Amino acid sequence: MPTTTHISGLRLTRHVARLLEVRDRLALYVTERESHNLDDAHDVFMAMVAVEDQLAVQAPQVHARLVAAWATAHEAIAHEPGEFNARCGTCCGASARPKAESGAAVMVNRAAGDRASRPCVCHGTVSMVTPGG
Ligand SMILES: [Zn+2]
Ligand SMILES: [Zn+2]
């Protein structure tokens, strides 16, 4: 378990919003990378679970409210390896070199640094919920 200190108020709201954003992006990457049978899918999945653990500690009510939706949030993006899905960013953007950015560390950095460069199908519906809202 990661060591986490409890924070509150506006700082918590911002922190949770940020965790939700990163989690959603990681979940999106996991779906895409599983759909393309890429080796790092499991490592990216574990990074996503670590963020979910932090959310469960910092905002247990938000976590409880969203956890069911997370399971199906990116269904529209998933596909069988070898198939094409127009909503899958890897199919659309990186089909020429799907492994160019592989590696869990790269994906985690991208999730943390990338300010929604690629819109997500669920973004704005399940990802951006503030605690207590
Ligand atoms: Zn794809
Ligand atoms: Zn999403």
In a domain? residue 127? no
Enclosing domain of residue 103: 9-113
In a domain? residue 129? no
In a domain? residue 63? yes
In a domain? residue 128? no
Domains in the chain, number: 1
pLDDT at position 126 over 50: no
In a domain? residue 97? yes
Looking at residue 111, what is its pLDDT? 82
Query: Model confidence over 21-78: pLDDT tens digits?
Result: 899 989 999 999 999 999 899 999 999 999 999 999 999 999 999 999 898 889 999 9
Mean pLDDT of the chain: 80
Q: Burial-class residue 98 by CB neighbours within 10 Å (0-12, 13-18, 19+).
A: middle
In a domain? residue 74? yes
Please report which ligand is nearest the Cα atom of 116: 2
Ligand 2 midpoint to CA 22 (Å):
10
Would you say the pTM of this structure is higher than 0.95?
no
Please report which ligand is nearest the Cα atom of 127: 2
In a domain? residue 25? yes
Ligand 1 midpoint to CA 132 (Å):
36
In a domain? residue 2? no
Question: Binning pLDDT at 50, 70 and 90, where does residue 130 land?
Answer: very low
